[in-house]
Amino acid sequence: MKKSNRRIVIKQSTQSANFAIIVWLVGFLSRHFINHQQSKKLAKNDVFTVSQTIALTNDQELRSDMNYLVCNVEPAIVTVMPLDSVDNHPFKVMKKAIKRALIRKDM
């Protein structure tokens, strides 16, 4: 077998390197954004807190000083139960009401 004395030279232009960096950065930021959005979604048995008290239509309210347990999740409605009160009766809340005020979700 003969040994070749040729060396392989890989040329990489700065234009392709910049393109690769931009593609990687877009992928990284999109994954971060998607993960952030997924962490805000409520699932059954999640415990969450809201940042401000939200008054609901049926004389119920989500108070900012209480923790709530998610009992059931439907497409537009979430059934929650207060954990920090004596009156532990589940009630239904629209997802839109919780979405803007959700500050912490404990798993």
pLDDT digits (tens, 9 = 90+) for 63-106: 888 888 888 888 888 888 888 777 778 888 887 777 767 666 66
pLDDT digits (tens, 9 = 90+) for 34-60: 877 766 677 788 888 888 888 877 777
Mapping DSSP onto H, E and C, the string for the chain reads CCCCCCCCCCCCCHHHHHHHHHHHHHHHHHHHHHHHHHHHCCCCCCEEEECCCEECCCCCEECCCCCEEEEEECCCEEEEEECCCCCCCCEEEEHHHHHCCEEEEEC
Residue 14 within any structural domain of the chain = no
Residue 2 within any structural domain of the chain = no
Domain count across the chain: 1
Residue 78 within any structural domain of the chain = yes
The range of the structural domain enclosing residue 53 comes to 46-104
pTM of full prediction above 0.75:
no
